[in-house]
Amino acid sequence: MSSRLFDLSDDVAVVIGGTGALGGGMAQALAEAGAKVAILGRNAERGEERVRAIEAAGGKGLFVSADAMSCESLAAARDAIQSKLGTISVLVNAAGGNKPDATLIPGADFCKLSRTAWNEVFDLNLVGGVLLPSQVFGEAMLAAEKGSIINIASMSGMIPLSRVVAYSAAKAAVINLTMFLAREWATRGIRVNAISPGFFPADQNRKLLFNEDGSYSVRGQQIIGHTPMARFGKAEELSGAVVWLASQRAASFVTGQNIVVDGGFSAVTI
């Protein structure tokens, strides 16, 4: 029975942002649990590379180019996936990130923060990151009366970290929207949850966390010192959470939740 709890062989999963390190790791985990996985994104080279990795491990993968800021592009991708893989039952919204212009360096004036940069961060993380994909793919799930939507938020959406003010606010909105959709769709067969990773080194934050010689930066040292497990996370350490939330058997009564995977960072107040 326990092995069946996490068997996704009847599922078709879409991972938006599956070309990145964290999204790609989650796509790989879903495929290893048996799901047929579609990677959505704009970087075909990285998308096809992830599909090859999935198939090399014995899974079924597909890359579909799409613009997450376009409902028409997302709808075309949805229809293509369903014609090739079947009815979509899992959506992972893993696209997101920050913008340098929306980051406040020490001593910077918040009153001078660029509104354009602020809007770009909200578009990236909230509008294209969750809102539009949930509308487009949620429509298909509602028609099938089955689905699990997993939004990738951030621990900084719970604790407003210094510097990344727009990113933290956008991820807080992701958590709020997750709870709203969970309530709205709870009786219609759709579960909606979020995963909030702590600090996981990836291309976009590596320079923030490490010096050129590979040692921790000042910021990296501060984070490690605040993390009870005294290290950064690894992409594969999100696998259990995403497979659990995707599984109708294992998480059938779980919706509206924000699962934090941060090595204990958010548990430390001093």
Cα–Cα dist 245/211, whole Å: 36
What was the pLDDT predicted at 2?
60
Backbone angles phi, psi at 197, to 5 degrees: -70, 150
Q: Amino acid identity of 200?
A: F
Same domain flag for 119 and 170: yes
Which strands, in side-by-side order, build the sheet including 90-93?
Answer: 60-65, 36-41, 12-16, 90-93, 147-152, 190-197, 258-261
CA nearest to 146, candidates 266, 249, 27 = 249
Same domain flag for 121 and 211: no
What was the pLDDT predicted at 270?
64
Cα–Cα dist 195/130, whole Å: 13
Same domain flag for 10 and 92: yes
Same domain flag for 170 and 209: no
CA within 13 Å, CB half, 189: 12
Confirm whether 167 is a catalytic residue. Answer: yes
Same domain flag for 26 and 144: yes
What was the pLDDT predicted at 207?
80
Same domain flag for 137 and 211: no
Domain hosting residue 208, numbered range: 203-230
What was the pLDDT predicted at 100?
86
Catalytic site residue from 63, 167, 244, 265: 167
What's the structural domain count of the chain?
Answer: 2
Same domain flag for 83 and 170: yes
What was the pLDDT predicted at 5?
94
CATH number, position 110 = 3.40.50.720
Same domain flag for 140 and 216: no
3-class DSSP assignment, residue 8: coil
How confident is the chain (270 residues) per 10-residue block, as mean pLDDT?
A: 84 96 96 98 94 97 96 97 98 93 86 93 97 98 98 93 90 98 98 96 82 88 92 95 98 98 88
Cα–Cα dist 63/207, whole Å: 29
Same domain flag for 28 and 152: yes
CA nearest to 125, candidates 204, 69, 197 = 69
Taking each helix axis from N to C end, the angle separating 44-56 and 21-32, rounded to the nearest 10 degrees, works out to: 30
CA nearest to 159, candidates 102, 113, 223, 211 = 223
Instruction: Give the Cα-Cα-Cα angle 49, 83, 241 (nearest 5 degrees).
Output: 55
| Structural contact between residues 51 and 13, judged by C-beta atoms closer than 8 angstroms | no
Instruction: Decide if 158 is inside a domain.
Output: yes
Instruction: Decide if 263 is inside a domain.
Output: no
CA nearest to 231, candidates 263, 256, 206, 205 = 263
Same domain flag for 221 and 121: no
Place of tokens 């997993």: 150
Same domain flag for 169 and 222: no
